Amino acid sequence: MTIQKKLDRVKFSIFSPEMIRKMSAAKIIIPDTYDDDGYPIDGGLVDTRLGIVDPGLRCKTCGGRVKECPGHFGHIELIRPVIHVEFAKNILFTLRSTCLSCHRITTSKSQLQEIVKEVEKEAAEEPPIKVSKGKSEVAYAATEDSGVPALDSPEPLAPQEKKAEEKPKRVKKEPKQSKKCQKCGFDLIDIKLLKPTTFTKGKETMLPSEIRDWLAAIPDDDLRELGFDPVYSRPEWMILTVLAVPPVNVRPSITLETGERSEDDLTHKLVDIIRINQKLEANINAGAPQLIIEDLWELLQYHIVTYFNNETANIPPARHRSGRPLKTLAQRLKGKEGRFRYNLSGKRVNFSARTVISPDPSISMNEVGVPKTIAEELTVPMSVTDWNLDSCKTYIMSPEYPRAIYILRSDGKRLKVGDTEELRKQMAEDLKVGWIIERQLVDKDIALFNRQPSLHRISMMAHEVRVLPGKTFKLNPVVVSPYNADFDGDEMNLHIIQTEEAQAEARYLMKVEGQILSPRHGHAIIKPQEDHVSGLYFLTKDDTEFTKEDVSNILYRIGITELPESDCKGGKYSGKMIFSLLLPSDINAKIKSKLGEEIVIQKGKLLKGAIESRAIESELLEKIFILHGPEYTRKFLDTVTILALEVISMSGLSVSLKSYSLSKKAPEELKKLTDKLNREIDNLIIQYKNKTLERSPGLSLKDTLEGLIMQATAKAREDVGRLVEEDLSISNPSIIMAKIGARGSLLNAIQMSAIVAQQAVRSKRLARGYRGRTLPYFKPGVLTGKERGFVFSSFRKGLTPYEFIHHAMGGREALVNTAIRTARSGYMQRRLINALQDLIVYPDLTVRNADLSIVQFVYGGDGKDPVYATKAEVADFAKQDDVDTA
Amino acid sequence: MTTKKQFQVSITPYEAVGVVAAQSLGEPGTQMTMRTFHYAGVAEHVPTGLPRLIEIVDSKKEPKKPLIELYLKSSYARSASQAEEVARDLSSVFVSEVATVEDDLSDRTIAVIYNEKEAKGLGVTFAALKKAIELTYPNIKVLDNRIIIQFGKQKKKTSGEEVDVSLKSIRKTTNKIRETVVKGIKGITRAVVIRDNDEYFIRAAGSNLVGPIEHPAVDQTRIYTNNIKAIEKVFGIEAARNSIIREIKQVMDMQKLFVDIRHIMLIADAMCFSGTVKSIGRHGLSGERVGVLARAAFEETVKHLVNASANSESDNLIGVTENIIVGQTVPVGTGKIKVAIKSKKSK
């Protein structure tokens, strides 16, 4: 066992020039990388002292090879100091808070206290906006009170991370502060920052060296007041005199197919910096005119600015030869593809697999079918103990599939299991308790199964492995809903858990059977769906009877081997009786079904009514889960779904074009209804034109008309709905499916068989396209049904060309909305999770933040788990001795 | 027996309830429609569904369509006509609704022409109109049904010399006069009387709570608006918390998406526990997280890192993100507890 180190904290500070020199392995002086032989130049940007990226070489600093050497920093001595752009604002604050002459904070002690007091008072009165942590309030107060307006126009914002505005500051009604230093009486001069790095003192431009001297002269006591730490972050370090050169590991060059080398963006930038630095040095030494020196200095400043952040406002980004902007330090860290979100908050893993999913109703919902090829590739560590020594040896001895691949000795050495029989035999004999073997995946191993987007915790659940033939992951269709998966080509990920502790946690906390009830609302989320519901309905319908032979087959499939007694005439068996065989005896229910009839279950026997989606879900599943626990419920679900599928395979359920043809007399009725609608619309339009239409409050006359017409069309569709329902009758499969909640809705049947009805964009009738009409085919200004998107045809009959376009207009809006919605809700969820992720319940039922501040005194006001709290029986029970409801 | 059941129902210690709540609200977001809702008469497109949810969570200063619901004291609430009268009393009437406002740039005058027909219907007398305008523009002349404002000279700020008022500012004033409230409460418009069982209440656009509270007919105890910030300002943080819960619940219910009230409460509490309503996002809760790394990983990466180093801050790695970043066990759930087993050897 290795001793694990635990990081306690991470401290941030500014590197001092001394520090940079101290940690530097090489002073970089040559603005070039490799020589003509392709060997790194000494003192160049890929000096071998900075570590190595080419195989075959050894690092001059640590002697390590490619994977051993972690890389070492180098440094560049800048001939003239240069401002670090990202600190420009901090520099400005500091300059404004201190005196040009005595370098002390300009406000006097008493004045400071006054300001602090006022700030506190204001904070008490008005909700304060927190000042950035660590920086003392004094510093902010002082800077803002110097009478200078806050930073001018906010910089143009980068697209993804926009509004990188600084923290809102307190604006004071302070009497205008005298423009004199309170300590030495010196007249203060306005310091301004011209973005990004030019500072002006009155009308004069300040040189970085001047600023650096100023900052360096601020006494330590005042630094502390300003929020700096004299040891870790001194303001003068915000102006660079030495530039750290990152190790080559950070900016590896890549060799193209042509053998050409291509350097990293950072290396390019560093080349520029060294080159200008040298030029500047040469010019200074040669005694060049001040103007030229300042120009070069400025250029050096530009290169260093873009080296840190190539998206700095107000300066053109440095570009690659191809014209692509360079990706420099800030760009590497920022945003979705940046170091933080891409590599640190989300990490790549081993022991995982991904492939297409397909349904397999014959495996348990707790299982996942893993292709053999994947099972051979993935391994699970297995500790060798006295109890499993023999089975471990078998794994090692085995030449094929369930075999061990590695042996980890207790001294940490990793051995590959040999490929000859003698070798394996030898290794098996040598195997000792306390070692670990890594064997291939076998049945009953635990694995995490996941489908993106992982919107809730049940997007990732633990399944037991079941190695099956084929090349896809198999899963029981009953678990698709938590993953929101279907089988039209969806892929899913599998992760094999590598430690025993984690395996145990997964088994106890993440198993599918434990997630039947959703944490969102406490209702079943894993439940019979679609064909399961239809099957159960057909099974439990009043007239369903089976012969002895059929019953034997069905019962065999669900693992019941004893034939019950026949309960119908002629030795037949009723479906209700068969269904009841699966129910536990303590289930009682009396509910009204979706079909309007009564469902009665007594002592686990279905006496009356046919099962539909709501009954199975709320009356059976949830009750069984609460009363009998996850494992029982899983078994129930597994058998009930098999039973349902067995039944529906026997009875069959299909729809055809005929299922949506109405009877002979229906078209007439339909015509009557559409005529009525047309008359109504005409009527309304006449009233509108005559201005006799009564205006609804708060609406224009036009909007009133539109509203009324929409109401009329909605009503017409309802009327047609009733007609269709009657005409197609309950024996129509699509109506059955809609009514029992298996799939589809009545609306689907209406649209296919009778009328598609009103199309709308933004919940209004169609009104876009041409002036006063949707298509040039129509007369302008006509407001009747068909002109404004009412589709009189049915899908079965087919749409007229203009109806087709109208339908597509409505359809397009739906598509656009979905696209926008996913993006917006994704961002909202990211924000929500980020804001709430540290909130956890403590054993005293308080909900606290990471800093232990209390958010709720009792979770949810009652300390109950949402999953169980909604369960009436249990909740009632708990009410008797409620702990504490705040 | 009792204790056993009780234990089962209670929330598990160290459960990551925050994440569960966030997911419970975020996951259905993908299923929500973007439709707007139509309140009879008041505001046509009141956002519901996802846009409204985002609005609540952002805790904007004012919702896109502020609404206010005013229940009346029992003596007014029984009859429609009385309620109607209160509604008329409350909703603000602009000058442009009762008069035509014209400017004559050659004369440098603005004429407000009283429109008797419209004004009578809204209950605005000529005197009231005159008074409303006089409040801001004392120099007026009255001619029949006209109110005339004459523009003269103005002192220039810089030099102090007298100059004519610019034509541009006259135009501006004309528009300002049009939008001047003659009657009613500022910010309350389009009040409509709605029947709720056996009483009538008023629903109006706007979220000015202070005005209606002072009206004698309004029942102050049942006043409500969808503007959470306004509620916070007038009734305090607890009321704001309740209104967040109510508003979120309403959004979810309307979409027939069921979310346990505990999740909604937790989100409301997280937004309110500091004493002020804070938004979920970089300007609110997330921007004030303790951990530097957590803030940097969320948004504005560079800014947080730079400020942290300038102030020599430390990250004590107490949160979830921070520990993921450094590769340690996350302090949540089973990561919070340690199990000790007595080894065989140490007897």
Size of interface A-B (CB pairs under 8 A): 331
Confidence category of residue B130, pLDDT binned at 50, 70, 90 = confident
- Chain A 72-101, residues with CB within 8 Å of chain B CB atoms: 86-87, 90
The closest CB to that of B273, out of A10, A851, A855, belongs to A855
pLDDT confidence band for B36 (50 / 70 / 90): low
pLDDT at residue number A134:
38
Long-range contacts of B236-241 (CB under 8 A, 24+ apart): B237/B272, B237/B275, B237/B276, B237/B277, B238/B272, B240/B272, B240/B277, B241/B268, B241/B269, B241/B271, B241/B272
pLDDT of residue A811: 92
Whether A693 shows a pLDDT value over 90: the answer reads no
**Closest CA relative to residue B333, chosen from B10, B18, B26:** B18
Q: Which of A538, A558, A560, A627 is nearest to A589 (CA)?
A: A627
A167, pLDDT greater than 50: no
Spatial contact of A144 and A98, defined as CB atoms under 8 Å apart: no
pLDDT at A183 over 80: no
A residues 601-630 closer than 8 Å to B (CB): none
Q: Are A557 and A575 in contact (CB under 8 A)?
A: no
As a whole number, the mean pLDDT across chain B is 82
Chain B closest-CA separation from residue A474 CA (Å): 25
pTM of the entire structure? 0.85
Residue A703, SS3?
A: helix
Instruction: Collect all residues of chain B within an 8 Å Cβ-Cβ radius of residue A523.
Output: 258
CB A850 within 8 A of CB B291: yes
Please give the full DSSP string across A461-487, using - where no structure is assigned: EEEEEEEESSSSEEE-GGGHHHHT--S
Distance from CA of A497 to the nearest CA of B (A): 15
pLDDT, tens digit, for every residue of A227-280? 888 899 999 999 999 999 999 889 988 888 887 788 899 999 999 999 999 999
pLDDT at residue A149 tops 80 = no
Would you call A521 and B258 a contact, using CB atoms and an 8 Å cutoff? yes
A191-224 pLDDT, tens digit per residue, is 888 878 888 887 888 888 889 988 998 888 888 8
- Band (B135; pLDDT cuts 50, 70, 90): confident
Residue numbers of A between 119 and 158 with CB closer than 8 Å to B: 127, 130, 132-135
Tokens of A38: 């392709």
Q: What is the mean pLDDT of the segment spanning B106-126? A: 75
Query: How far does the CA of residue B180 sit from the closest CA of chain A (Å)?
Result: 20
CB contact under 8 A, A455 and B317: no
What's the rounded Cα separation, in Å, for the pair A282 and A417? 64
Mean pLDDT of A613-633: 85
User: In this predicted structure, what is the pLDDT of residue B156?
Assistant: 64
The C-alpha atoms of residue A412 and residue A408 are separated, in whole angstroms, by 6
Tell me if A520 and B325 make a contact (CB, 8 A cut-off): no
B245: closest chain A residue by CA:
A860
- Listed in sequence order, the residues at least 6 apart from A557 whose beta carbon sits closer than 8 Å to its beta carbon are A642, A643, A646
Return the biggest CA–CA distance within chain B.
109
Q: Is A831 on the interface with B (CB under 8 A)?
A: yes
Q: Does A841 touch chain B (CB under 8 A)?
A: yes
* Chain B interface includes A194 (CB < 8 A): no
Please determine, for residue A851, whether its predicted confidence score (pLDDT) is greater than 50: yes
Residue A502: both structure tokens together? 């984690």
Are B302 and A880 inside 8 Å of each other by CB?
no
Smallest Cα distance from B78 to chain A, Å: 20
| Structure tokens that stand for B14 in this block | 């160290």
- The answer to whether B323 touches A4, Cβ cutoff 8 Å, is no
Q: For residue A5, is pLDDT > 70? A: yes
Domains and CATH numbers, chain A: 85-153+170-236 (no CATH), 264-347 (no CATH), 352-515 (2.40.40.20), 531-653 (1.10.274.100), 658-816 (1.10.132.30), 840-879 (no CATH)
Note the pLDDT of residue A126.
52
pLDDT of residue B345: 67
Nearest to A821 among B34, B260, B317 (CB): B34
Q: Chain A contacts of B33, Cβ < 8 Å?
A: 817
Nearest Cα of chain A lies from the Cα of B81 at a distance, in angstroms, of 15
Q: Chain A: give the shortest CA distance to residue B19, in Å.
A: 5
The CA distance from A856 to B269, in Å, is: 7
Q: Grade residue B120 by pLDDT with cuts at 50, 70 and 90.
A: confident
| Token code pair at residue A626 | 């609460």
Mean of pLDDT values over A761-777 = 89
Q: Tell me: pLDDT of A114 over 80.
A: no
User: How far is B8 from chain A, CA to nearest CA, in Å?
Assistant: 8
CA distance A623 to chain B (A): 15
- Please report the pLDDT score of residue B191 as a whole number: 79
Question: pLDDT (tens digit, 9 = 90+) per residue, B66-103?
Answer: 888 888 888 887 887 888 878 777 878 787 777 777 77
- pLDDT tens-place string over residues A404-438: 999 999 998 999 998 888 999 999 999 999 999 99
Per-residue model confidence (pLDDT) at position B119: 72
Q: By percentage, how much of chain A surpasses pLDDT 90?
A: 42
Closest CB from A87, A703, A841 relative to B310:
A87
Residues of B in contact with A522 (CB under 8 A): 260
Say whether B27 and A829 touch across the interface (CB within 8 A): yes
Which DSSP helix (H) or strand (E) runs through A598? strand A598-602
User: At residue A166, does pLDDT exceed 60?
Assistant: no
What are the backbone angles phi and psi of residue A111, rounded to the nearest 5°? -65, -40
With contact defined as beta carbons under 8 Å apart, do A326 and A318 qualify? yes
Please tell me whether the peptide bond between B63 and the residue prior to it is cis, using omega within 30 degrees of 0.
Answer: no
Mean pLDDT of A515-529: 91
Strand A473-475 versus strand A352-359 pairing type: parallel
Question: What DSSP assignment string belongs to A330-345?
Answer: HHHHSSTTSIIIIIIS
Nearest-angstrom CA–CA distance, A227 and B312: 8
- Gap from A16 CA to chain B (nearest CA, Å): 12
Residue A329 and residue A308 in contact, taking contact as beta carbons nearer than 8 Å: yes
The rounded distance, in Å, linking the Cα atoms of A294 and A205 is 12
Neighboring chain B residues of A130 at a CB cutoff of 8 Å: 288
Confidence at residue A54, expressed as pLDDT on a 0 to 100 scale: 77
Residue in A231, A455, A863 closest to B23 by CB: A455
Residue type, B172: K
A445, A342 Cβ separation under 8 angstroms: no
Question: Which has the closest alpha carbon to B132: B179, B165, B191?
Answer: B179
Q: How many angstroms away from the CA of A127 is the closest CA of chain B?
A: 6
Q: Mean of the pLDDT values across residues A747-764?
A: 89
The H or E element containing residue A423 is helix A421-430
Q: What is the DSSP letter of A620?
A: I
> B248-302, pLDDT tens digit by residue?
999 998 888 889 999 999 999 999 999 999 999 888 888 888 889 999 988 888 9
Nearest CA in chain B to A866: B260
DSSP code at position A105: B
Q: What is the mean pLDDT of residues A349-361?
A: 96
Test B310 with A344 for CB contact under 8 angstroms: no
CA distance A503 to chain B (A): 13
Chain B CB within 8 Å of residue A656 CB: no
CB nearest A856 (choices: B29, B269, B327): B269
Q: Are B154 and B164 in contact (CB under 8 A)?
A: yes
Q: Which residues of A touch B14 (CB under 8 A)?
A: 840-843
Identify which of A385-399, A565-579, A604-618, B115-129 has the greatest average pLDDT: A385-399
Which residue type occupies A438? E
User: What integer is the mean pLDDT of A712-723?
Assistant: 90
The whole-number pLDDT of residue A366 equals 94
| pLDDT, position B34 | 64
Half-sphere exposure for B258 (CA within 13 Å, toward CB): 10
| Chain A interface, best mutation among B265, B303, B344, B345, by max A CB count within 10 A | B303
DSSP labels for A214-277? HHHTS-HHHHHHTT-BTTTB-GGGGEEEEEEE--GGGS--EE-TTS-EE--HHHHHHHHHHHHH
CATH class of B289-336: mainly alpha
At residue A172 the predicted structure's pLDDT band, cuts being 50, 70 and 90, is very low
Which pLDDT belongs to residue A162? Answer: 34
Shortest Cα–Cα distance, B198 to chain A (Å): 21
| Region A138-157 average pLDDT | 37
In order of A503, A812, A825, A827, B31, the CA distances from A820 in angstroms are 39, 12, 9, 11, 12
Strand order through the sheet with A204-206: A191-194, A198-201, A204-206
Query: For residue A169, what pLDDT band results from cuts at 50, 70 and 90?
Result: very low
Out of A347, A836, A845, the one facing B22 most closely (by C-beta) is A836
Nearest to B10 among A831, A840, A865 (CB): A865
Radius of gyration of the CA atoms of chain B, in A: 29
pLDDT digits (tens, 9 = 90+) for A817-848: 888 888 889 999 999 999 999 999 999 999 99
User: 315-344 in A: which are within 8 Å (CB) of B?
Assistant: 330, 333-335, 338, 340-341, 344
Per-residue 3-state assignment (H helix, E strand, C coil) for chain B: CHHHHHHHHECCCCCCHHHHHHHHHHHHHHHCCCCEECCCCCCCCEECHHHHHHHHHHCCCCCCCCEEEEEECHHHHCCHHHHHHHHHHHECEEHHHHEEEEEECCCCEEEEEECHHHHHHHCCCHHHHHHHHHHHCCCEEEECCEEEEECCEEECCCCCCEEECCHHHHHHHHHHHHCCEEECECCCEEEEEEEECCEEEEEEECCCCHHHHCCCCECHHHCEECCHHHHHHHHCHHHHHHHHHHHHHHHHHHCCCCCCHHHHHHHHHHHHCCCCCCCCCCCCCHHHCCCHHHHHHHCCHHHHHHHHHHCCCEECCCCHHHHHHHCCCCCCHHHHCCCCCCCCCCC
**Contact list, B5 vs chain A (CB under 8 Å):** 874, 877-878
- The answer to whether A644 touches A477, Cβ cutoff 8 Å, is no
Model pLDDT for residues A430-470, shown as the tens digit of each residue = 999 999 999 999 999 999 999 999 999 999 999 999 999 99
- Buried/exposed B18-50: b ≥16 CB within 10 Å, e otherwise: bbbbbbbbbbbbbebbbbbbbbebbbbebbbbb
Residues A318, A303 contacting (CB under 8 angstroms): yes
How sure is the predictor about B40, in pLDDT bands with cuts at 50, 70 and 90? low
Q: Answer whether A838 sits within 8 Å of B13, measured CB to CB.
A: no
pLDDT band at A125, cuts 50/70/90?
Answer: low
Task: Tell me what pLDDT residue A152 has.
Answer: 37
Whether residue A150 has pLDDT greater than 60:
no
Q: Does A872 touch chain B (CB under 8 A)?
A: no
Instruction: Give the closest of B23, B298, B317 to A457, CB-based.
Output: B23
> What is the C-alpha separation between A29 and A23, in angstroms, rounded?
17
Please give the mean pLDDT across all residues of chain A: 85
Predicted local confidence at residue A871, as pLDDT: 67
Q: Is A854 on the interface with B (CB under 8 A)?
A: yes
Write out pLDDT tens, residues B224-247: 888 999 999 889 999 999 999 999
